[in-house]
Structure 1
Amino acid sequence: MSTNRIAERDAIQAARQRLLAGTPARSTGALTVVQLAAEAGVKQWVLTHKHPDLRKEFEAAQESVNGIPAAFQTLPVKVDDLEAANKRLREHNSELTERNEIYPQVIHALTSELAELRRVRTLPSNVRRLPTDTTASPQT
């Protein structure tokens, strides 16, 4: 076997390991023959015609991991967790939005009631006026 052919095989095998590990250096990381060739730095025909045994090994490995590199095997679980957290945050946001819509109504009602009490000049025993100092000069 020529030195060039041995170098191609070594490059393809190293590329296969990187793709399956989810650590691509020259490709998108997808587990396809096209990306294997790109990762190895060889033309696709070199992989499919000169080294069909390596292509078949890669395809077998690809099937054994369901086409998902090892580094990305946990992503579906993480996505589910993030979607659940997002749902909880949206529900909490809706609750806070409802509260914020009620607060102006409560403030208005209390302000109106206080204005009426001031108009009448009588305050209930559980309400006291805040002290006001009319003799103090404004601070600069």
Structure 2
Amino acid sequence: MSPALDERDRIRAAMARILDGTPERSNGALTIVALAVEADVPRNALTQRHLDLKNDFYERVKARGGTPDVEARLRKRVVELKKTIANKNDEITQLRADVQGFLAENTRLTLENQELRDVLSGNKANVTPLRPTPNPDR
């Protein structure tokens, strides 16, 4: 697939919009991916066909002295959210373990309750416990 005739112009215009902080199509990040989205070109147009424009973009970003405030805030928020997710995953693991314990205790109490009801009602249990009978010879 051959590149569009106006591809370089679109890349230059997208560079200007991103660096001015007025992106129209992308999130405005100072990355080649955002530049490609903003210029409406495939990423390989910047990494293979127009290396000079890619290098120019990176030089201009470097000259600005860092990332914009919006991007820094978003990156910080991503870190916070990853910590929250890790904490929630730990909590879910603990709750799953607790559920197993509660199920076992519920089963035990249900059986004990049934035994007590049988004793109170005078009904004999379906199962007769095996107890050693006294041996008169001993």
**Pairing of 1:95-106 with structure 2 (within 5 A):** 95-106=98-109
Instruction: Give the alignment's TM-score, normalised by structure 1.
Output: 0.53
| Counterpart-to-counterpart distance in 1, 2:29 and 2:96 | 38
**Offset at residue 56 of structure 1 (A):** 0.9
| Counterpart-to-counterpart distance in 2, 1:90 and 1:78 | 18
CA contact (8 A) 2:10 2:39 kept: no
**Pairing of 1:8-19 with structure 2 (within 5 A):** 9-16=12-19
Root-mean-square deviation over aligned CA pairs: 4.0
Task: Show the counterpart of 1:39.
Answer: 38
| Counterpart-to-counterpart distance in 2, 1:92 and 1:24 | 45
The C-alpha deviation readout for 1:73-104, integer Å capped at 9, x for no partner, is 31011110121122123212321221112211
Task: Show the counterpart of 2:66.
Answer: 64
**Pairing of 1:76-87 with structure 2 (within 5 A):** 76-87=79-90
Task: Tell whether 2:78 aligns with 1:75.
Answer: yes
Task: Show the counterpart of 1:130.
Answer: none
Instruction: Give the alignment's TM-score, normalised by structure 2.
Output: 0.54
**Offset at residue 38 of structure 1 (A):** 4.3
| Counterpart-to-counterpart distance in 1, 2:90 and 2:115 | 39
In structure 2, do the counterparts of structure 1 residues 119 and 80 end up closer, same or farther at CA, with 3 Å as the change threshold? same
In structure 2, do the counterparts of structure 1 residues 85 and 77 end up closer, same or farther at CA, with 3 Å as the change threshold? same
Q: How many residues align?
A: 109
Between 1 and 2, higher relative CO (CA 8 Å, sep ≥ 6) is seen in 1
Extract unaligned runs of 5+ from structure 1: 121-140
Q: Using the aligned pairs only, state the percent identity.
A: 17
Match of 2:116 among 113, 116, 120: 113
| Counterpart-to-counterpart distance in 2, 1:109 and 1:50 | 78
CA contact (8 A) 1:15 1:40 kept: no
Structure 1 ranges of 4+ moved more than 4 A: 4-8
CA contact (8 A) 1:12 1:37 kept: no
In structure 2, do the counterparts of structure 1 residues 52 and 80 end up closer, same or farther at CA, with 3 Å as the change threshold? closer
